[in-house]
Amino acid sequence: MADTMALARAERTDLVELLEGLTPEQWDAATLCDRWRVRDVVAHVYSYEELGWAALAGRMVRAGFSVDRANAAGVADHADASPAELTALARKRIRPVGLTSMLGGRIALTDGMIHQQDIRRPLGLPRTIPADRLVAALDTARAAPTIDGAKRVKGLKLVATDVDWTTGDGDEVRGTGEALLLAIAGRRVVADELDGPGVGTIAARASG
């Protein structure tokens, strides 16, 4: 069985290395997350780690139990942070703590991987994601309630073409593991990278 906490630390280390090389213009560039710049996505990745259970409950209550509003509140808490401060925060949090450390680090691994690609793709900075990390993230994402993973894959069979991973039954959706991960997370931009009779269905279930 994979040491998913180690995989999460490796993924976060890669993210820090990316952040350290960004220009000021890139920090303010758009991402695949609607209305979020690179700095906002980075703030979001770490915005739950410093919360205890009481603080987390308080944020959710204030957000009316809306995940989107709770996420926005976490980003707003870091609105005044500079790129250097956000990079320092990322470096400090190589090892997940709090909410993101749950499920053996799978939350940090999956959320961090999706958001790293949210940053990289618009900036034209592709990478090859290590297969062990990608498979672990796909396994988590397909059932993750916070990204509606189960709803997006319902009635479909997803088949990765570059790693040993498949899930579900129904109309097939084929593509790279990265493209499937982003499709599960609701990123409409990857629809053209997928193939199979189920593509229209998963594209229609995209959130942005």
CATH 3.30.1050 intervals, the chain: 131-204
Long-range contacts of 138-143 (CB under 8 A, 24+ apart): 138/165, 138/167, 138/177, 138/180, 138/181, 138/184, 139/165, 139/167, 140/103, 140/106, 140/107, 140/109, 140/110, 141/110, 141/114, 141/181, 141/184, 141/185, 142/167, 142/168, 142/184
In this prediction, residues 95-99 reach a mean pLDDT of 89
Reply yes or no on whether the pLDDT at 93 is more than 90: yes
Predicted confidence (pLDDT) at residue 116 exceeds the cutoff of 80: yes
Handedness of CA 14, 37, 83, 62 (dihedral sign): negative
- For the chain, the distance separating the N- and C-terminal CA atoms, rounded to the nearest angstrom, is 34
Residue-level pLDDT at 52: 64
Tokens 């906002």 belong to 40
> What confidence score (pLDDT) does residue 69 get?
82
Split at pLDDT 50, 70, 90, the class of 58 is confident
Does residue 64 register a pLDDT over 60? yes
> Residue 142 is encoded by which pair of tokens?
């397909």
Give the chain's radius of gyration (CA, Å): 17
pLDDT, one tens digit per residue, over 170-179 is: 999 999 999 9
The strand pair at 166-167 and 156-160 is best described as antiparallel
- Give the CATH number of domain 131-204: 3.30.1050
Which pLDDT band, with edges at 50, 70 and 90, does 54 fall under?
Answer: low
Q: Where in the chain is the domain with CATH 1.20.120.450?
A: 4-123
| CATH code for residues 4-123 | 1.20.120.450
